[in-house]
Amino acid sequence: MAAHLSPSSSSSSSTLSFSSDRYTGKCYCKQFSRVCYGAHSSIWVPKIFSRIHSRNPSDLNSSNGYPLNAVSLQDGSMSKPLAEEVPASRPGEAETTLSITVVGASGDLARKKIFPALFALFYEDFLPENFIVFGYARTKMTDEELRNMISTTLTCRVDKRENCADKMEQFLMKCYYHSGQYSSEDDFAKLDCKLKEKEGGSLSNRLFYLSIPPNIFVDAVKCASNKASSVSGWTRVIVEKPFGRDSESSRELTRCLMQYLSEDQIFRIDHYLGKELVENLSVLRFSNLVFEPLWSRNYIRNVQFIFSEDFGTEGRGGYFDNYGIIRDIMQNHLLQILALFAMETPVSLDAEDIRNEKVKVLRSMRPLQLEDVIVGQYKGHSKGGKSYPGYIDDPTVPKDSVTPTFAAAALFINNSRWDGVPFLMKAGKALHIRKTEIRVQFRHVPGNLYKWNFGTDLDKATNELVLRLQPDEAIYLKINNKVPGLGMRLDRSDLNLLYSARYRREIPDAYERLLLDAIGGERRLFIRSDELDAAWALFSPLLKELEEKKIAPELYPYGSRGPVGAYYLAAKHDVRWGDLAGED
């Protein structure tokens, strides 16, 4: 269903939720014909457009109810959010500059993900007219050197667009660099001067992206907040994971960050929440009658969240060894998806309503115990004349490391909807394939007239809904179907929605969506502190026990399907991993 909006509906009309505003149903359009197009409900209007170009920005509210131009930065050492301090008369958005500072600009994530995502937003006209991007890191670089560095990773979203080179040039000219220490207020004060100079006296909204190792998060936030906050607009900080190593350290990190920022200013990123299929999870469930009524223990036998990478920790062993796969993937990415999958219907699509439901479901879960989990670690392997290194062959990893690079876990939600349903997770590096999917295995049809077709194991012929997050995004449903012909033979077929066949649009990278949301003040896809707390509460006791007892991981060869322990864990709960059925 497409929203039919007139250009004049650009302030706050609350019409249809699909193709107007992507979350709340409000429609804000800068260029109606460009943005609210298409009969397909997947096209959305970025809130940032509305916020930046609306004629009457005071009509618009952010998801926390604050006016969009509300100032919420810390002024010097003050730690009070300044949401109330909205300027009485707000100048037009055209006089506002958006300044984005990528802290840790010389690093891997900045180069590979953040700058390309910013360029993609610029390329697709999602950034406001007045914006600047600053790279900040210790490495000495000129503006020109930063531009050269990032230009190698920029790509045009849709190939063969004519103006790509021009757009790149325009984008790069908006990128600047400032070298400084992460703990130096002087260096951030100098950054502030440069920002002010480029902002040219206009109002400014400032976004800091902390793309640095976690041990320097707080220093950088302190300096940025005290010396480089915006004095006329908002200041927000995107924080990358890891958010601590356990409940205690995570709470401590939050406590420290909140000395300088309010919760509203902190955008804890989990990039899996920005993935297209994760976005679609709620749409699929809540807008399709064929799914919503089935979403419970009455019809669902088990749910599986499977993350598999076909490469090891190459180059990131130093970081990884301190965290392991449970913290790297399960406690955040997979658990976030699980929470979205299993939550009750939120009151609305508003950020707080959704996050409230996620917290509830996380708090209804039983903390993991040792017997709910198996862990593995990849070892070196030779195949086809090529040899692949084991985890401990990485020079930055101790030879006696027992850090898991693979884990499988069975989780349970103790509420009336999900009582007794195993939610299985499996995550591993250096496996045979790169794939992330959600698999929902349904119960068998009671008294099935065709059961003689399935042999004795009825569970083999149950429906299975698969959401393949990557690669080749797809949603497919395994059904039993009559093989055409005069006989009565059934087979398992797929109702298949392969995105590349259905939609011509290229799927945006998760970081694009999340950056756009942070700019627009939309918090729905960011992790609130109580959510984080609830997530750690599930994993912390287990992690402590694994580490204290130095539980040895089961070794598996690089490029294999992982340790056999994962099969036994699933079997213990009467589950077969869907990705091992040999049909995919």
Kindly state the DSSP code that residue 21 receives in the 8-state scheme: B
Three-state helix/strand/coil letters over 213-267: CHHHHHHHHHHHHHHHCCCCCCEEEEECCCCCCCHHHHHHHHHHHCCCCCHHHEE
How far CA 174 is from CA of 22, 308, 396, 515, in Å, comes to 28, 38, 37, 17
Per CB under 6 A, 240 contacts ligand LXAUTJHC: no
333 given a catalytic annotation: yes
Per CB under 6 A, 531 contacts ligand LXAUTJHC: no
Q: What is the closest distance, in whole angstroms, from the C-beta atom of residue 340 to ligand NDP in the complex?
A: 19
| Partner from ligand NDP, ligand LXAUTJHC, none contacting 104, C-beta within 5 to 8 A by type | ligand NDP
**b/e per residue, 55-88, with b = 16+ CB within 10 A?**
eebeebebbbebbbbbbbbbbeeeeebbbeebee
Q: What is the closest distance, in whole angstroms, from the C-beta atom of residue 229 to ligand LXAUTJHC in the complex?
A: 28
Is the CB of residue 281 less than 8 Å from the CB of residue 438? yes
For ligand LXAUTJHC, the closer of residues 79 and 322 by Cβ is: 322
| Partner from ligand LXAUTJHC, ligand NDP, none contacting 211, C-beta within 5 to 8 A by type | ligand NDP
Per CB under 6 A, 97 contacts ligand NDP: no
Per this entry, what is the length of the chain?
584
For ligand LXAUTJHC, the closer of residues 175 and 430 by Cβ is: 430
Taking CB under 6 A as the binding criterion, the range among 5-13, 240-248, 498-506, 572-580 that sits at the site for ligand NDP is 240-248
Indicate which single residue of 178, 241, 333, 468 sits in contact with ligand NDP (rule: CB under 6 A).
Answer: 241
| Partner from ligand LXAUTJHC, ligand NDP, none contacting 565, C-beta within 5 to 8 A by type | none
For ligand LXAUTJHC, the closer of residues 300 and 525 by Cβ is: 525
Q: How many CB atoms lie within 10 A of CB 31?
A: 13
Is the CB of residue 27 less than 8 Å from the CB of residue 502? no
Indicate which single residue of 187, 328, 372, 522 sits in contact with ligand LXAUTJHC (rule: CB under 6 A).
Answer: 328
Is the CB of residue 253 less than 8 Å from the CB of residue 214? yes
Per CB under 6 A, 216 contacts ligand NDP: yes
**b/e per residue, 178-199, with b = 16+ CB within 10 A?**
bbbbbebbebbebbbebbbebb
Q: Which residues contact 443 (CB under 8 A, 6 or more apart)?
A: 298, 299, 300, 301, 462
Taking CB under 6 A as the binding criterion, the range among 92-100, 103-111, 480-488, 564-572 that sits at the site for ligand NDP is 103-111
| Partner from ligand LXAUTJHC, ligand NDP, none contacting 328, C-beta within 5 to 8 A by type | ligand LXAUTJHC
In the complex, residue closest to ligand NDP by CB:
107
Q: How many CB atoms lie within 10 A of CB 452?
A: 9
Per CB under 6 A, 108 contacts ligand NDP: yes
What DSSP line would sit under 497-520, residue for residue? EEHHHH--SPPPPHHHHHHHHHHH
428 token code pair: 């591993």
The catalytically annotated residue of 40, 333, 381, 573 is 333
Residue 339 and residue 231: Cα distance in Å, rounded? Answer: 37
Per CB under 6 A, 11 contacts ligand NDP: no
| Partner from ligand LXAUTJHC, ligand NDP, none contacting 108, C-beta within 5 to 8 A by type | ligand NDP
Amino acid, single-letter form, for residue 507: I
List residues binding ligand NDP (CB under 6 A): 104, 106-110, 137-139, 182, 211-214, 216, 240-242, 319
List residues binding ligand LXAUTJHC (CB under 6 A): 271, 309, 328
Task: State the catalytic residues.
Answer: 333
